[in-house]
Amino acid sequence: MAQATTTERFLGWLKTITFYELLVGMKATMSHLIHYKPITLQYPHEKRTLPDNYRGMLALLRYDDGTEKCVGCDLCEAACPSRVIRVVSAEIPGEPTKRYSKEYSMNMTRCLFCGMCVDACPVDALGMTREFEWAVYDKRDLQLNKQQLLAIGDRSFPVREKRLELQHQNVAFFNVAFKHVPQKPN
């Protein structure tokens, strides 16, 4: 038992004299120095791949026939924690049950990019793009109106879905959307 402690003391003394910990650290440093591969990207020319769940600039979306998806329900405005969104909705003339957003604006200087407005939208009219290069000299350029948000959506989401009436067969069957189709016989 006393022999083991003497051997351990001798090894401890030898490690202290030879700076063993320092040599182990230098070995790790030298291996990194020899096998170094730079990971720096030359930014304007090289861009990194963004993850699938990246939340960038917000955009308004359209259906495949070019009509806007937004129905002016104001749920995105209510869900936004920083009060970025402002929606003014109106009714379609002659059809009091259908609404649309007459005005839609976002102040992107206050946006948290949390995605709560996208989750709150019942018709998926909002989308988070992968655009992140929005540096401007004047912050008034980041107050986006409806046309600018639709242009961002057209640029970022080129593949669009069909209108709701054309997606579900029950809507066409019960003549909710198509007035030119004769009524189903009873």
More confident residue, 28 or 85: 85
Q: Is residue 101 part of a domain?
A: yes
C-alpha torsion 128→115→138→62, nearest 10: 40
- 115 & 153 share domain: yes
Residue (of 94, 121, 93) closest to 104 by Cα position: 121
Please indicate, yes or no, if residue 102 is contained in any of the structural domains. yes
Does 78 belong to an annotated binding site?
A: no
Q: What is the pLDDT of residue 39?
A: 79
H helix or E strand, kind and range, residue 103: strand 95-107
Q: Decide which of 182 and 151 is more confident.
A: 151
Residue 158 falls inside a structural domain: yes
For range 113-129, the mean pLDDT = 94
C-alpha distance across the termini of the chain, in Å: 101
Q: Would 39 be classed as within a structural domain? A: no
User: pLDDT tens-digit profile of 91-105?
Assistant: 988 887 888 999 999
SS3 at position 35: coil
Are both 70 and 108 inside the same structural domain?
yes
pLDDT band at 72 (very low <50, low <70, confident <90, very high): very high
117 assigned binding-site residue: yes
Distance from C-alpha of 93 to C-alpha of 53, rounded to nearest angstrom: 39
Expressed as residue numbers, the domain containing 27 is: 2-34
Residues 27 and 117 in one domain: no
Confirm whether residue 80 is marked as ligand binding. yes
**Do 160 and 80 share a structural domain?**
yes
Judge if 62 and 15 occupy the same domain.
no
Query: Is there a single domain that holds both residue 69 and residue 112?
Result: yes
| 87 and 74 Cβ atoms separated by less than 8 Å | yes
**What is the mean predicted confidence (pLDDT) over 29-54?**
87
Among 23-37, 106-120, 133-147, 155-169, which stretch is predicted with the lowest mean pLDDT? 155-169
For residue 174, name the pLDDT band (cuts at 50, 70, 90).
low
23 shares its domain with 89? no
Q: What is the mean pLDDT of residues 42-65?
A: 91
| CA gap 155, 147 in Å, rounded | 12
| C-alpha span between 155 and 70 (Å, rounded) | 17
Whether 51 maps to a domain, the answer reads no
Residue 19 lies in a domain: yes
76 is in an annotated binding site: yes
Instruction: Give the pLDDT confidence of 1-15 residue by residue, as tens digits.
Output: 556 688 888 888 888
Contact 76, 85 (CB under 8 A): yes
Check whether residue 151 and residue 73 sit in a common domain: yes
Annotated binding-site residue? 73: yes
Any known ligand binding at 154? Answer: no
Output the pLDDT for position 130. Answer: 92
| Number of helical H runs and strand E runs in the chain | 7, 5
106 marked ligand binding residue: no
Q: How many domains does the chain have?
A: 2
- Say whether 180 counts as a known binding-site residue: no
pLDDT at position 182 is 58
Taking all residues of the chain, what is their mean pLDDT, rounded to a whole number?
A: 86
CATH number for the domain that contains residue 113: 3.30.70.3270
User: In the chain, which residue ranges form alpha helices assigned H by DSSP?
Assistant: 2-18, 20-34, 75-79, 116-120, 146-156, 164-167, 169-173
